């Protein structure tokens, strides 16, 4: 369901270029040894009580560049951006079965607060 309801659609690069000019979004690239190996996108969202929070919509690192601090640096950048915009919280979605992703976000103090269930019809 995620891939047909919420995943970024092709061409990914074109939409990311548009988001670079959106003041409510931050696009970050992750580099390792001079090469771009990942990217992150976070967006400012207004909660139902009127307070701003930040949602990490994308955080990706090439498999060969994982576990070397690139993802952590991009997440740190998202957190700094959230604080600079007065956000009271930051959140991200993690797909079922992606234990490494869940552990990654939990390392930043994020905890699960919602599970979405679905059934193909």
Distance CA 90, CA 108 (A): 10
Query: What pLDDT score was predicted for residue 10?
Result: 84
Whose tokens are 């090439």? That residue is 62
pLDDT digits (tens, 9 = 90+) for 8-27: 888 888 888 888 999 999 99
Whose tokens are 């234990």? That residue is 99
Q: Is the pLDDT of residue 2 over 90?
A: no
pLDDT digits (tens, 9 = 90+) for 64-115: 999 999 999 999 999 999 999 999 999 999 988 889 999 999 999 999 888 8
Query: What pLDDT score was predicted for residue 59?
Result: 96
- Domains plus CATH for the chain? 2-106 (3.40.630.30)
Distance CA 66, CA 37 (A): 9
Q: How confident is the model at residue 40 (pLDDT cuts 50, 70, 90)?
A: very high
Q: Is the pLDDT of residue 4 over 90?
A: no
Is pTM beyond 0.85 here?
yes
């Amino acid at each position: 369901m995620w891939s047909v309801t919420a995943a970024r659609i092709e061409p990914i690069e074109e939409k990311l270029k548009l988001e670079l000019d959106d003041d409510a979004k931050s696009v970050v690239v992750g580099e390792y040894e001079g090469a771009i190996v990942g990217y992150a996108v976070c967006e400012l969202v207004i909660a139902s009580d009127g307070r701003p929070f930040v949602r990490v919509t994308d955080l990706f690192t090439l498999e060969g560049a994982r576990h070397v601090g690139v993802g952590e640096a991009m997440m740190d950048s998202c957190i700094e951006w959230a604080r600079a915009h007065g956000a009271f919280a930051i959140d991200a979605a993690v797909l079922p079965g992606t234990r490494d992703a869940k552990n990654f976000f939990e390392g930043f103090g994020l905890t699960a607060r919602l599970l979405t269930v679905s059934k193909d019809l």
